[in-house]
């Protein structure tokens, strides 16, 4: 019973993704190509990394609304360090990642030690990171740097006219890492246990508090990494980047079949959810008739559909 | 935690009165301004209207007050509504489009707008009640879709408003006091009377405290929640209309951005428990005033609008900490060092 519940939402995601792609392939010339598929990964690299972090948070029955702001903060921080302060790129990236981890761990500590609701603390985090981004610079900073150019020039040819850039490769590598982390590491199993039933996990002697703080620290790392990938993608930093990204990430996770009630789901589903997101976006780009506003409405409709399906499945189990 | 507890609050120690926190916060802000620049408090009369920072706090805070009033009820039932910012955008866009492009009078456009946004709130409630979806997620859907809907309504444009009756909502004065403030006062009084003078408040607190038990005692928790979410939606839409009126334009992209956070924070600072149950409408009004006073003080101190969220976040997390049992114990332990702290 449990196995089918775990697998079913994934089938639904695969079905939606495949049919969207099939319909688009028949409707638009040139859609069915390796180039489009490769671009799906490139365009969704930063959303993908955030969504993977969000997956771990949601699996532990938490939520993190600060990711969009942390991404915006990271882009402007990296751009400032590299462009204005002359810090070597790897050092700047390292600083950004460390700040992301500390920020996430701080929020996690507040949530755990003072028993505060996660959405409230991370809302505070959203405000904080958003404002701090503007403290660094209120306008966009372009990055002109040899290292960045070298990274951007690096492209892996996967087929005729189809290239995977550094961002897409980083996303794929990180995805594999997350699958392994959740499946085979002790931390991953603890996350499932805490999300499934926190009280049982505590009674079993699992270090629940540490796991929960670890989850938010990991997500802070993911947000910072996503911010770095965003600077690669856009070649600039801007404190306004990432507004609303937390919603996109949550939507991708839910569409990927991870239950919002915690404990069930995984990274593979999130990858499919992110790709679904990217396919819808690509369709809107291919078809000029749709206004950009449709993207949000389409995502919301999908989100509603999947949540209701999850409810129905969960009720079937009861 | 119900009416009985609240009425005896004045007899208990001052620290247990939930209104003490927003009042203390306000006192801090006022003290800060007294020291740094007393001209903050100057109120002048121009053209028979009151002008000055204090008036601005109230008139600009009117929107957040409306949001906070609706949000208070939702949070009291143990829920939360993240969609109020997006609903604000929809409300402003709808009313502006009705009046400017379709030529309806405000007396037609405003009721239709409020009915539509109220229905949107009702759908939020329906997802929570019938779909049994967690409120954060149920309202997240409208939060995501709402801005798209608002953009569709105005065709992605900013709608300029010239209708004098419409603009009066945001810029008019009665007896020297902004019209929007009168509106909030009337709505607050109506809500306070209908909630505290009837059993409604008790029922809402019962649902928020223990929904299961309330249902066994014959309270229709579902219907109550539907009403509460609908009211929250309608008030958010009205706030959007006021916002559009005060800047003479409805901008579907910018209106209400991050306002859901302001509303939640006003409610939390005002002493309403996030876990549901006890709620204080007046506390939320105070919370909204505190938030606005803080924002304005920061502007005056030269902190740019974009950076303002940082101190806001610190205040909010600080207030949450003060409400946390364990944090209070830690503080008492530190202050009563060596004593027999509980």
Interface contact B151-A293, CB threshold 8 A: yes
Confidence class for position B160, pLDDT limits 50, 70, 90: confident
Are A235 and A75 a contacting pair, CB within 8 Å? no
A29, with CB counted inside 10 A (0-12, 13-18, 19+), is exposed
Percent of chain B with pLDDT over 70: 88
**CB-CB: which of A123, A131, A297 is closest to B145?**
A297
Is B277:B6 a contact under the CB 8 Å cutoff?
no
Q: Residue A106: pLDDT above 90?
A: yes
Place of tokens 């997240």: B140
What number is the average pLDDT over the span A70-85?
Answer: 92
What residues in B contact A253, CB-CB < 8 Å?
A: none
Mapped onto helix, strand or coil, the DSSP state of residue A249 is helix
Residues of A in contact with B317 (CB under 8 A): 110, 121, 124
Cα–Cα distance, A92 to B284 (Å, whole number): 43
For residue A309, the domain's CATH number is: 1.10.3470
- Phi, psi dihedral angles at B270 (to 5 degrees): -75, 0
Nearest-CA distance from A177 to chain B in Å? 28
Give the dihedral of Cα atoms B312, B314, B320, B323; nearest 10 deg: -110
Hey, what are A254's tokens? 């839910």
Q: How confident is the model at residue B15 (pLDDT cuts 50, 70, 90)?
A: low
Cα–Cα distance for residue pair B164/B91, rounded to 1 Å = 18
Name chain A contacts of B140, Cβ cutoff 8 Å: 247, 250, 303
Q: How far is B49 from chain A (nearest CA, A)?
A: 34
pLDDT in tens, A149-183: 888 778 877 777 778 888 889 999 999 999 999 98
Helix orientation angle between B53-76 and B221-247, rounded to the nearest 10 degrees = 160
Using only C-alpha atoms, chain B has a radius of gyration, in whole angstroms, of 21
pLDDT band at B19 (very low <50, low <70, confident <90, very high): confident
B291: left (phi over 0), alpha (psi -120 to 50) or beta: alpha
Contact B136 A119 (CB under 8 A): yes
Spacing of C-alpha B67 from chain mean position: 3
Nearest to A134 among B127, B307, B311 (CB): B307
Q: How far apart are the C-alpha atoms of B159 and B113, rounded to whole Å?
A: 15
Minimal C-alpha gap between A8 and chain B (Å): 19
User: Is A212:A62 a contact under the CB 8 Å cutoff?
Assistant: yes
- B152 at A interface, C-beta within 8 A: yes
End-to-end Cα separation, chain A, in angstroms: 11
To the nearest whole angstrom, how far is the Cα of B272 from the nearest Cα of chain A? 14
pLDDT digits 0-9 by tens, A48-66: 999 999 999 999 999 998 9
Local structure of residue A116 (DSSP, 8 states) = -
Given a cut of 90, is residue A17 above it in pLDDT? no
Distance CA A249, CA A44 (A): 11
Average pLDDT of chain B, as a whole number: 80
Of A175-184, B84-93, B211-220, minimum mean pLDDT range: B211-220
| Cβ within 8 Å, pair A114-B261 | no
Average pLDDT over residues B83-91: 91
Q: Is the pLDDT of residue B116 over 50?
A: yes
The C-alpha angle with vertex A250 and arms to A217 and A43, in degrees rounded to 5, equals 95
Closest CA to B274 of B81, B8, B10: B81
Q: pLDDT tens digits, residue range B166-179?
A: 787 777 778 777 88
What is the average pLDDT score of chain A?
Answer: 86
Report the pLDDT value the prediction gives residue A39, as an integer from 0 to 100.
85
CB A261 within 8 A of CB A314: yes
Sequence-ordered strand ranges (E) for chain A: 141-142, 155-159, 162-165, 236-237
Nearest CB partner across the interface for B147, out of A63, A296, A311: A296
Residue B131 distance to chain A (closest CA, Å): 7
pLDDT exceeds 70 at position B1: no
Query: Which CATH code is given to the segment(s) B51-320?
Result: 1.10.3470
Residue A148 has pLDDT above 90, yes or no: no
Note the pLDDT of residue B305: 74
Which of B123, B143, B144, B275 would best serve as a mutation to test chain A binding (most A beta carbons within 10 A)?
A: B144
Q: Is B322 on the interface with A (CB under 8 A)?
A: no
Q: What is the DSSP letter of B340?
A: -
Residue in this structure with the two tokens 């999908």, named with its chain if needed: A302
Distance between CA atoms of residues A219 and B299, nearest Å: 33
Q: Number of CB pairs < 8 Å for A and B?
A: 120
Chain B hits for A126, CB-CB cut-off 8 Å, are: 261, 313
Interchain proximity A260–B137, CB inside 8 Å: yes
pLDDT digits (tens, 9 = 90+) for B285-335: 888 888 888 888 887 777 777 777 788 788 778 877 877 777 778 877 877
> Could you tell me how far CA A87 lies from the centroid of its own chain?
27
Q: Identify the CA nearest to A253 among candidates A51, A29, A92.
A: A51
Q: What is the pTM of this model?
A: 0.82
Q: Are A242 and A72 in contact (CB under 8 A)?
A: yes
| CB within 8 Å of A97: residues ≥ 6 apart | A221, A224, A225, A228
The confidence score (pLDDT) of residue B5 equals 46
Q: Does B186 touch chain A (CB under 8 A)?
A: no
Domain count, chain A: 1
ipTM of this complex prediction, to 2 decimal places: 0.74
Q: Residue B341: is its pLDDT beyond 50?
A: no
Query: Could you give the CA distance from residue A59 to residue A258 in angstroms, rounded to a whole number?
Result: 7
Domain ranges for chain B, please list them. 51-320
Distance (Å) from the C-alpha of residue B271 to the closest C-alpha of chain A?
Answer: 15
pLDDT at position A317, please? 55
Tell me which residues of chain A have a C-beta less than 8 Å from any C-beta of chain B: 63, 110, 113-117, 119-121, 123-128, 130-132, 134-135, 138, 239, 247, 250-251, 254, 260-261, 291-297, 299-301, 303-304, 307-308, 311, 315
Q: Give the span between the Cα atoms of A146 and A155, in whole angstroms.
A: 16
Write the residue in B134, B306, B326 that is nearest to A260 by C-beta.
B134
CB A223 within 8 A of CB A71: yes
Check residue B323 and give its pLDDT.
Answer: 72
Residue with tokens 């409230």: A120
Q: Which helix (H) or strand (E) holds B43?
A: strand B43-46
Residues in chain A within 8 Å Cβ distance of B145: 296-297, 299-301
In this complex, which of B151, B261, B317 lies closest to A121 when CB atoms are compared? B317
């Amino acid at each position: 019973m449990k196995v089918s519940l775990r697998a079913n939402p994934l089938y639904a995601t695969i079905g939606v993704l495949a049919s969207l792609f099939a319909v688009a392939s028949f409707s638009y010339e040139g859609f069915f190509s390796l180039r489009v598929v490769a671009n799906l990964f490139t365009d969704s690299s930063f959303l993908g990394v955030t969504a993977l972090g969000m997956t771990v948070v949601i699996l532990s029955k938490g939520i993190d609304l600060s990711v969009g702001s942390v991404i915006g903060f990271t882009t402007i921080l990296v751009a400032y360090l590299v462009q204005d302060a002359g810090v070597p790129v790897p050092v700047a990236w390292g600083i950004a990642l460390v700040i992301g981890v500390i920020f996430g761990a701080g929020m996690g500590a507040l949530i755990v030690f003072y028993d505060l609701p996660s959405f409230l603390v991370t809302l505070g985090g959203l405000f904080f990171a958003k404002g701090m981004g503007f403290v660094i610079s209120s306008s966009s900073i372009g990055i002109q740097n040899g290292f960045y150019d070298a990274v951007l020039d690096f492209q892996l040819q996967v087929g005729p006219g189809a290239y995977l850039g550094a961002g897409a490769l980083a996303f794929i590598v990180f995805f594999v890492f997350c699958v392994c982390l959740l499946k085979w590491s002790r931390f991953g199993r603890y996350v499932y246990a805490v999300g499934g039933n926190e009280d049982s996990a505590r009674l079993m002697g699992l270090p629940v508090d540490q796991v929960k703080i670890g989850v938010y620290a990991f997500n802070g790392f993911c947000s910072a990494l996503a911010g770095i990938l965003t600077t690669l993608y856009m070649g600039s930093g801007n404190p306004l980047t990432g507004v609303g990204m937390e919603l996109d990430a949550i939507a991708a996770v839910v569409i990927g079949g991870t239950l919002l009630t915690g404990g069930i789901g995984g990274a593979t589903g999130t990858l499919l959810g992110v790709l679904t997101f990217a396919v819808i976006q690509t369709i809107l780009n291919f078809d000029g008739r749709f206004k950009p506003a449709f993207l949000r409405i389409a995502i919301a409709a999908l989100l509603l559909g999947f949540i209701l399906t999850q409810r129905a499945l969960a009720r079937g189990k009861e | 935690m119900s009416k009985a507890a609240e009425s005896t609050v004045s007899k208990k120690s001052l620290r247990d009165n939930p209104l003490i926190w927003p009042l203390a916060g306000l006192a801090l802000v006022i003290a800060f301004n007294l020291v740094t620049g007393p001209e903050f408090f100057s109120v002048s009369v121009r053209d028979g209207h009151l002008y000055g920072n204090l008036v601005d706090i109230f008139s600009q805070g009117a929107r957040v007050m409306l949001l906070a009033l609706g949000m208070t009820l939702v949070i009291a039932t143990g829920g939360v509504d993240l969609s109020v910012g997006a609903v604000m955008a929809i409300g402003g866009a709808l009313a502006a489009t009705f009046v400017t492009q379709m030529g309806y009078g405000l007396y037609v456009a405003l009721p239709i707008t409020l009915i539509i946004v109220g229905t949107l709130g009702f759908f939020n409630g329906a997802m929570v009640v019938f779909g049994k979806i967690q409120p954060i997620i149920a309202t997240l859907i409208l939060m995501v879709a709402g801005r798209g809907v608002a953009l569709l309504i105005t065709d992605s444009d900013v709608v300029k408003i010239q209708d004098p009756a419409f603009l009066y909502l945001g810029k008019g004065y009665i007896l020297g006091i902004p019209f929007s403030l009168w509106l909030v006062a009337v709505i607050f009084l109506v809500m306070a009377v209908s909630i505290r003078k009837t059993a409604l408040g008790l029922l809402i607190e019962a649902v928020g405290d223990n929904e299961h038990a309330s249902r066994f005692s014959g309270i229709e928790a579902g219907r109550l929640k539907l009403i509460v979410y609908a009211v929250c939606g309608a008030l958010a839409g009205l706030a959007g209309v006021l916002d559009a009126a005060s800047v003479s334009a409805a901008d579907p992209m910018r209106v209400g951005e991050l306002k859901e956070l302001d509303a939640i924070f006003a409610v939390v600072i005002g002493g309403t428990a996030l876990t549901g149950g006890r709620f204080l409408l007046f506390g939320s009004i105070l919370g909204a005033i505190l938030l606005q006073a803080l924002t304005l003080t920061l502007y005056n101190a030269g902190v740019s609008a974009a950076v303002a969220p940082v101190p806001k976040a610190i205040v909010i997390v600080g207030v949450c900490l003060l409400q946390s049992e364990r944090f209070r114990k830690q503080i008492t332990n530190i202050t009563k060092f060596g004593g027999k702290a509980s």
